[in-house]
Amino acid sequence: MKNKAIELLNSVSLRRTGPRLAILEALLNADAPLTQDQIADAIGDSAPNKTTIYRTLTHLVETGLVHEAFLENRSQHYELAHHCGKQCCHPHFTCRQCEQTHCLTGVSTPLVELPKGFSIQRQQIHIDGVCPDCRTRNKTKEIGQI
Ligand SMILES: [Zn+2]
Ligand SMILES: [Zn+2]
Ligand SMILES: [Zn+2]
């Protein structure tokens, strides 16, 4: 994943620094958006301090490499922007039973038609629901009760 992280930095002409590479690698390895704390956990012992992670993330967001995917429990969740369109991010689905979030990269969401005078910067959709695993578990439980 290191080469891919270097490639990403090169694509926006950003200098390679330890924190940038470490954060991009953590996001490359993740299959759902991560909070700052989860990024620190993923990097492990060599993780930069909180302030450095925050500043680096802010910088990566400014360059467009990283998106702020959604806010949950007052924590911003970050992910790489490579599965997002120019104005439209892929939707996220958070299961209210297991609290897992899924990136619905295969689901296309047409831009909403805005009233006159409004201009869009980015459309992001965050869906609450129950995931397939939990639904199956619920069904098995119901059958068990009968
Ligand atoms: Zn996005
Ligand atoms: Zn679930
Ligand atoms: Zn996502």
CA of 80 to the centre of ligand 1 (A): 7
Residue 78's CB is within 10 A of a number of other CB atoms, namely 26
CA of 2 to the centre of ligand 1 (A): 22
Q: Report pLDDT for 145.
A: 66
pTM: 0.90
Q: Please give, one letter per residue, the 3-state secondary structure of 5-24.
A: HHHHHHHCCCCCCHHHHHHH
**Which listed ligand is nearest to 132 at the C-alpha?**
2
144, pLDDT greater than 90? no
CA of 5 to the centre of ligand 2 (A): 31
At a CB cut-off of 8 Å and minimum separation 6, what does 4 contact? 24, 28
Higher-pLDDT residue of 14, 2: 14
CA of 106 to the centre of ligand 1 (A): 13
CA of 114 to the centre of ligand 3 (A): 24
Q: Report pLDDT for 91.
A: 97
Higher-pLDDT residue of 116, 142: 116
Q: Report pLDDT for 143.
A: 75
Domains and CATH numbers, the chain: 1-82 (1.10.10.10), 84-146 (3.30.1490)
What tens digit of pLDDT does each residue of 103-113 get?
999 998 899 99
**Which listed ligand is nearest to 128 at the C-alpha?**
2
What tens digit of pLDDT does each residue of 64-108 get?
999 999 999 899 999 999 999 989 999 999 999 999 999 999 998
CA of 64 to the centre of ligand 3 (A): 14
CA of 79 to the centre of ligand 3 (A): 6
Q: Report pLDDT for 140.
A: 84
What tens digit of pLDDT does each residue of 29-76 get?
999 999 999 999 999 999 999 999 999 999 999 999 999 999 998 999
Q: Report pLDDT for 141.
A: 80
